């Protein structure tokens, strides 16, 4: 049964964040709110956790998992960024975008696309996400929580708990116990593939894709 952790949306309690990170470090899988709906996450070294997430979402081996990064410096350690791509992505982060780029040796091969050796990266300014990453001290292996057959991510903690109670270890809820507007964006991130040099819009979501149409 998943632990339900209720945190403040703007100032998440350090004790509760630390408890959640302890579960992550112990091999757990966490459902957590982001600026583009709920996501599933586990640590970089959690092979079983990635397999559990793959099974929950029924993903193929070609699916790009995202590495949720705390800041641009952390992102830059994980992917190769030519100057023009660096400028375009830097201007759009943090924000509701996932970028696909060639991975550096810092990324385990099992997290890369099997043929392209690419990986997805993103930065969210959501306070809960930032608190988790600060406590964890490394990126989270992450994917938007879109259930099989659905097109939009889940957005309410209690619904996630009800549906995934025996499939994840922690569900973080940031609705503020009714004191906070629990409605969160229902759109997943916009996915932009820079691995071929020129930006390719793979998925249109919450982020404005037009800023990447003609990257100087």
Residues 6+ apart with CB under 8 A from 181: none
- The 10s digit of each residue's pLDDT in 32-85 is 999 888 999 999 999 999 999 999 999 987 788 899 999 999 999 999 999 989
The CATH code belonging to domain 3-212 is 3.90.870.10
Residue-wise DSSP of 59-114: --TT---EEEESSHHHHHTTB---HHHHHHHHHH-SSSEEEEEEBPTTS-GGGS-T
pLDDT for 24 beyond 90? yes
What does the alpha-carbon distance between residue 177 and residue 96 come to, in Å, rounded to a whole number? 25
For residue 129, the SS3 value is helix
Give the mean pLDDT of 122-127: 93
What is residue 12's predicted lDDT score, i.e. its pLDDT? 95
pLDDT for 148 beyond 90? yes
Residues 6+ apart with CB under 8 A from 13: 7
pTM for this entry: 0.90
What does the alpha-carbon distance between residue 34 and residue 94 come to, in Å, rounded to a whole number? 12
Which strands form 170-173's sheet, in the order they lie side by side? 3-6, 170-173, 30-34, 37-42, 140-144, 66-69, 118-123, 97-102, 190-193, 200-203
What is residue 151's predicted lDDT score, i.e. its pLDDT? 85
Task: Check residues 107 and 64 and name the one with the higher pLDDT.
Answer: 107
Residue 179's pLDDT band (cuts 50, 70, 90): very low
Domain parsing of the chain, residue ranges: 3-212
pLDDT for 214 beyond 60? yes
What is residue 178's predicted lDDT score, i.e. its pLDDT? 43
């Amino acid at each position: 049964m998943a632990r339900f952790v209720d945190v403040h949306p703007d100032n998440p309690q350090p004790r509760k964040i630390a408890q959640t990170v302890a579960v992550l470090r112990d091999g757990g899988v966490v459902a957590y709110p982001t600026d583009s709906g709920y996501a599933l996450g586990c640590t970089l070294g959690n092979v079983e956790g990635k397999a559990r997430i793959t099974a929950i979402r029924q993903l193929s081996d070609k699916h790009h998992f995202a590495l949720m990064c705390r800041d641009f410096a952390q992102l830059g350690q994980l992917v190769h960024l030519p100057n023009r791509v660096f400028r375009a992505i830097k201007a759009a982060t943090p924000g509701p975008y996932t970028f696909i780029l060639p991975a550096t040796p810092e990324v385990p091969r099992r997290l890369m696309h099997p043929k392209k050796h690419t990986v997805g990266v993103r930065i969210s300014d959501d306070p809960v996400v930032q608190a988790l990453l600060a406590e964890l001290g490394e990126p989270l292996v992450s994917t938007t929580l879109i259930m099989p057959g659905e097109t939009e991510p889940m957005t309410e903690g209690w619904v996630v708990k009800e549906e995934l109670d025996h499939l994840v270890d922690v569900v973080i809820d940031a609705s503020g116990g009714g004191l906070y507007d629990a409605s969160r964006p229902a759109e997943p991130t916009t996915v932009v593939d820079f691995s071929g040099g020129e930006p390719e819009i793979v998925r249109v979501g919450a982020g404005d894709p037009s800023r990447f149409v003609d990257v100087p």
